[in-house]
Every structure is written in structure tokens, then in C-alpha cells.
Chains A and B, each alone.
Chain A
Amino acid sequence: EAQVTQNPRYLITVTGKKLTVTCSQNMNHEYMSWYRQDPGLGLRQIYYSMNVEVTDKGDVPEGYKVSRKEKRNFPLILESPSPNQTSLYFCASSNREGYEQYFGPGTRLTVT
């Protein structure tokens, strides 16, 4: 089954404790992105990757890091999480021809 998976689905952590949210897709897609969703603000792009070892900033990259060492994986790293990073995070992928973006199930992160 073609899908985008994220782990964990829910995470409560404390300020400053490094964390990683994993994202994996099994569709051989070149393009992958991370978004955060906040009430009243819609979805905002954090980072995207157009291929292995190629990443670029989106609209709200501050406080986040990403890596793309393998085509199927695109982890989101929060080196020192802060309460303003409490949000719902979605990973998405699409193929080179630019058909629709497939979204993962989301990760709800709470930073206290």
C-alpha cells in the first residue's frame, strides 16, 4: 500500500530536549516536505527536499533541521524544542512529475 508514515504520532516533551520526528514514504518519490499546522494559520512549510542530499528552507524553518540521506526518509529534528513549536506536523511527498502531494497522518507535538 502506497503511504507516508510518521513516528511518533503523539509526543509530549520538555523545553530543550532534542527530538526527531521520522517520515518515510514507500512510493519512490523524489520530493518531500514538512509542514506545521496551527489553528487559524493553516499549514506552513518548514523545509522541503527535492532529492537525496538536497534540502531547502520553507516559510518557517527557524528552530528546525532536516536531513535527506536516503530517498525514502526525511526526518525532522528539533535540536532545542520550545513551547512555540507545539503544533501538528505533517510530512508530505510527491513524485518528480509533480503530481499530488501525499500527506502523512500527522504528529501532534506538545512542548512544555
Chain B
Amino acid sequence: GENVEQHPSTLSVQEGDSAVIKCTYSDSASNYFPWYKQELGKRPQLIIDIRSNVGEKKDQRIAVTLNKTAKHFSLHITETQPEDSAVYFCAASKSVGGADGLTFGKGTHLIIQP
């Protein structure tokens, strides 16, 4: 089955700086890669996703890049703000939208230092 590795497990950055979280996956058939943000005590919420036919996608301060050859994808957050503090999960799926299930990384705890 699919295996998703995520690094780092904890990331501390100064407010205003950029943060990068990286994931690798093992199954070359995976073609959908979402990123979820989970605040303390809350449910995971989708913040951005990318499909395998796209190399990069951006939404305001958040961007995701995908390298299918190397089987890795990354989340980039620019101009970080205190409300960005949360746990971020990457995931992979063979079905667009992950309808038949997502394989998640173990998460990155992002800490924004004031």
C-alpha cells in the first residue's frame, strides 16, 4: 500500500518568515495530494490540494509543489501569522479527492514565534 513520509515533525519559525513542509510518497499510482490543517481540538480541514497533472498551485500565502518523478510534494506558507500555528498533514490518494481514502503523513506541528 501507499506510504507517506512527512518532515519535519515540528517546525518553529518567526512570524513573517516562510515555512516549508515536505512529504514523500511511495505509490506511483497516487494522483491526488491534499494538505490538511488541524487546530487544537478541532477536525482536519483541507487548505489546499494538487492533482498529478499540475506541478504547482497557489492560494494567497499558501502554495503546494509536486514532483511526480521524485515522488515528493511540499507545502509552502509565506508571511506566516500566529493563526498559522497548527498541525499540518499531507496525504496521498489514487482517487481524485481521496474518495476511497487518504493515506496521511504523521503530521508537522508548526509553531509561529511572535
Contact = CB atoms under 8 A, between A and B. Distances in A.
Interface residues of B, number: 25
Given A42-B105, A43-B104, A99 B97 contact: yes
A96 B99 contact: yes
B101 A40 contact: no
A41 to B, nearest CB: 6
Interface stretch (B11-19, B42-50, B53-61): B42-50
Contact of B99 (A101, A103, A104): A101
Interface in A59-110: 59, 90, 94-101, 103-106
Contact of B103 (A45, A94, A103): A45
Given A100-B34, A101-B46, A103-B44, A45 B97 contact: no
Contacts of B43: 90, 103-106
A33 interface: yes
B101 A45 contact: yes
Given A42-B104, A90-B44, A30 B99 contact: yes
Interface residues of A, number: 28
A86 to B, nearest CB: 17
Nearest to B41: A106
B98 A101 contact: yes
A98 B101 contact: no
B65 interface: no
B99 A98 contact: yes
B100 A50 contact: yes
A105 B43 CA distance: 5
A43 B101 contact: no
Contacts of B102: 33, 43, 45, 101
